[in-house]
């Protein structure tokens, strides 16, 4: 195995990242924690203060000498938009440097509209959000776009996404950057959600973790030793297309027995329709996958036996796939994100945690914590915003590994 050269985080980015996550903090502490010299820290801090990204907040307690001046992030100094294009909804958020959402809106999804028509509508939505919040446009560093995979991150397109029929090879990133005038970054929604968890400090203490994102499909973002892992083509973590039945159903992706065919919202809603038809489930269904899946989850949480059985079946299949992921990557934490977990997330957490405690290979050495995302239904959109903030202000190295 050989590892390609990769860009390291700059001194400025590394310092800002630490002030953001650990502030208020002194220059001396920054030098100790980053390994940078006092001279380098002084220069970097001076630049950050001039940029208005950080501020001095007074002196800390004396340790025998002159009290040290403390530094902290200036959250409102920079803003980013985050956009998540889902099957049923498009979610927009504006986030500041601390990851706090200062505004959001959600509208209907693309449906059967052409990508050109959807981009036009999204441009209007973004402008309305900026104007409605009375944002200082000079503080907006850009826009992050999260979208279901497979993605071609280099060219800013998607390839063969079932929920976005007709979008293959459409230059969505370039189109939105052109119509909005904003720099646009682009990533898989599951990876964006994982970045958002890190940015908000929700994964502190865990060097390796996965954020499992379930919306219309199932994907995962993976962090190894504190670094987001993109893989060769930025399509890492497609856990929804791990085979859980070698003799199972044929998936549109070309594989057999894919997890999404058994655990995904569409699969569970189809089973719910059958249950309603044969009288074993009393639940009105609308025909909209996300709405119906949420209704099944709510019924399960209320104690409806038939609905709970459907959700538990989904959770069991997902747990089986996660055992393989945990065994392969030796993870310490699984975070569940996405709208599909909004009503019955606790059932998924309990089921997956139990299965991992019973079956994960290294269970005798360390446990694996399973918990819900701190970002709720906005995980991908907020992650997209933090993706933009991180790229512009505190870039981290991206690991790229190939096998010889």
| pLDDT higher than 50, residue 199 | yes
Summarised one tens digit per residue, pLDDT across range 284-296 is: 999 889 899 999 9
User: What pLDDT score does 1 carry?
Assistant: 33
Mean confidence (pLDDT) of the chain:
88
- The share of the chain scoring above pLDDT 70, in percent, equals 93
User: What pLDDT score does 395 carry?
Assistant: 56
Q: Which of 39-43, 198-202, 359-363 has the highest mean pLDDT?
A: 359-363
User: What pLDDT score does 394 carry?
Assistant: 62
Summarised one tens digit per residue, pLDDT across range 9-56 is: 578 877 887 888 787 899 999 999 888 899 999 999 999 999 888 899
184: pLDDT confidence band, cut at 50, 70 and 90?
very high
In angstroms, the CA 55 to CA 37 distance is 21
118: pLDDT confidence band, cut at 50, 70 and 90?
very high
- 387 closest CA partner among 255, 106, 199, 226: 199
| pLDDT higher than 60, residue 7 | no
In angstroms, the CA 157 to CA 353 distance is 35
This model's pTM is above 0.75: yes
| pLDDT higher than 70, residue 402 | no
- Tell me what the mean pLDDT of segment 323-340 comes to: 94
User: What pLDDT score does 170 carry?
Assistant: 93
Ranges 86-90, 144-148, 161-165, 290-294: which has the least confidence: 161-165
User: What pLDDT score does 8 carry?
Assistant: 45
- 381 closest CA partner among 85, 75, 169: 85
């Amino acid at each position: 195995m050989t590892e390609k050269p990769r860009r390291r985080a700059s001194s400025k980015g590394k310092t800002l990242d630490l002030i953001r996550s650990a502030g208020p903090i002194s220059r001396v502490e920054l030098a100790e924690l980053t390994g940078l010299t006092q001279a380098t820290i002084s220069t970097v801090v001076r630049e950050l203060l001039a940029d208005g990204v950080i501020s001095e907040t007074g002196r800390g307690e004396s340790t025998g000498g002159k009290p040290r001046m403390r530094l902290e992030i200036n959250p409102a100094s920079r803003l980013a938009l985050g956009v998540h294009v889902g099957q049923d909804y498009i979610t927009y958020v504006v986030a500041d440097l601390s990851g706090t959402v200062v505004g959001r809106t959600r509208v209907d999804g693309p449906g059967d509209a052409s990508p050109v028509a959807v981009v036009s509508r999204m441009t209007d939505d973004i402008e309305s959000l900026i104007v409605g919040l009375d944002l200082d446009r000079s503080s907006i560093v850009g826009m992050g776009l999260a979208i279901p995979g497979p993605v071609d991150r280099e060219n800013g397109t998607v390839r063969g996404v079932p929920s976005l029929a007709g979008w293959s090879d459409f230059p969505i990133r370039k189109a939105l950057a052109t119509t909005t005038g904003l720099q646009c970054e682009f990533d898989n929604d599951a990876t964006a959600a994982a970045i958002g968890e890190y940015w908000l400090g929700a994964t502190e203490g865990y060097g390796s973790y996965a954020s499992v994102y379930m919306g219309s499909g199932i994907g995962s973002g993976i962090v190894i030793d504190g670094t987001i892992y993109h893989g060769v083509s930025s399509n890492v973590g497609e856990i929804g297309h791990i085979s859980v039945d070698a003799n199972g159903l044929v998936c549109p992706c070309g594989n057999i027995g894919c997890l999404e065919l058994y655990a995904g919202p569409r699969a569970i809603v189809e089973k719910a329709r059958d249950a309603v038809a044969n009288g074993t489930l009393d639940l009105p269904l609308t025909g909209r996958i996300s709405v119906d899946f949420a209704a099944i989850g709510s019924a399960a949480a209320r104690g409806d036996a038939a609905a709970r059985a459907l959700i538990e079946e989904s959770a069991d299949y997902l747990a089986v796939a996660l055992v393989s992921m945990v065994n392969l990557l030796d993870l310490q934490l699984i975070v569940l994100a996405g709208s599909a977990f909004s009503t019955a997330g606790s059932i998924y957490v309990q089921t997956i945690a139990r299965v991992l405690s019973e079956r994960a290979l290294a269970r005798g050495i360390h446990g694996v914590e399973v918990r819900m995302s701190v970002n709720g239904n906005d995980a991908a959109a907020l992650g997209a915003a933090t993706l933009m903030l991180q790229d512009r202000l505190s870039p981290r190295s991206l690991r790229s590994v190939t096998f010889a």
